[in-house]
Structure 1
Amino acid sequence: MPFPFVGDDKSTIARLLSTLPQQGRLEWIGLRPARREPLQAVLETEAETDRHLAGDHARPKPGGKRQITLIQHEHLAAVSSFLGLTEPVDPARLRRNLVVSGLNLLALKNRRVRVGMEVVLEITGECHPCSRMEEELGPGGYNAMRGHGGLTARIVQGGRLRIGDAVWVEEPQP
């Protein structure tokens, strides 16, 4: 049988892009109590449908594409390495709401994911670093975050988020 990934078969690429059987884990939750204030790590919070996380100062408009932000747990060590640090960077310094391990978040763009039993997020795009990374991480912080800034999402279905919740891809509805 020939190797199944050879050729220019768009259906093969579509199949590969849709194959995400892995399950991730919610490792950390951070809330911004006020603008420019340090993030506070919490064990759980409420995700409000088409709004934001309870306790977070951000008040995006309903239908907005940046109601919540996620970052890859595995990227914390990479960012630290680029900065010459020996320990993974504290996720609170990166100003993202959720840290997820075990899934390649970039593969989730334009997909829906379930976090725990209640919450459904629609991944809307990349969360590029801003100049605050230089303030927070020091010289080179912005460039250390490039390609590792995480994703933005819309809260399609709200509910309770807890550290340790499973994270998996929701299959598209017909």
Structure 2
Amino acid sequence: MLSDLISNWAQPGRVEWIGLRPDRRAGMVVADEEGMISTNGLDGDRGRAGKRALTLIQREHLAAIGSYLGQGPVTPDILRRNLVVSGINLAALKGREVQVGEAVLRFTVICVPCSRMEEALGKGGYSAVRGHGGWCAEVVRPGRVTLGGEVQPVD
């Protein structure tokens, strides 16, 4: 049955990178080892409670975006996402509760690229990010997130 196939996942993912956006156009601040996720998103980030409190992207998509630009993987700070995750398909988790470290999130909408992608990545940057920009999430349960922490659906 299709619902059974959709509910399966092969392995937990891992948190590879944690970044904060302190202000609208300010440079990203990379967290050393951990961050605290509250209802507003990562502490120290300009996030806000609701369906866009936190943003996540798959590490695997950084290489895809770079390949569309004719270069190596882009760095996560350019895309301004909070968490980089590897090893699990984030799109397959849409609408589900997902444990990220100690926190529980719910992926809500795709992070669409902003017009600044042309400025940040050069000509074609906006199109390169389309479909690969990650996900926005709301916080279901606050908690600590660490580098190397597991990412998996709450079953």
Within a 5 Å distance, the mapping from 1:30-41 to structure 2 comes to: 30-41=19-30
SS in 2 for 1:167: strand
Greater share of strand: 2
Tell me the residue number matched to 1:127.
111
TM-score normalised to the size of structure 1? Answer: 0.85
> Cα offset for 1:104?
0.6
Tell me the residue number matched to 1:18.
7
Select 2:81's aligned residue among 96, 104, 111.
96
Select 2:94's aligned residue among 88, 106, 109.
109
Q: Distance in 2 between matches of 1:17 and 1:104?
A: 11
Q: Distance in 2 between matches of 1:158 and 1:109?
A: 19
Give the gaps of 5 or more residues in structure 1: 1-11
Tell me the residue number matched to 1:68.
54
Q: State the percentage of identical aligned residues.
A: 54
Q: Distance in 2 between matches of 1:74 and 1:21?
A: 16
SS in 2 for 1:160: strand
Give the gaps of 5 or more residues in structure 2: none
> Cα offset for 1:135?
1.1
Aligned residues: 154
Amino acid at match of 2:88: L
SS in 2 for 1:120: strand
> Cα offset for 1:138?
0.9
> Cα offset for 1:21?
4.0
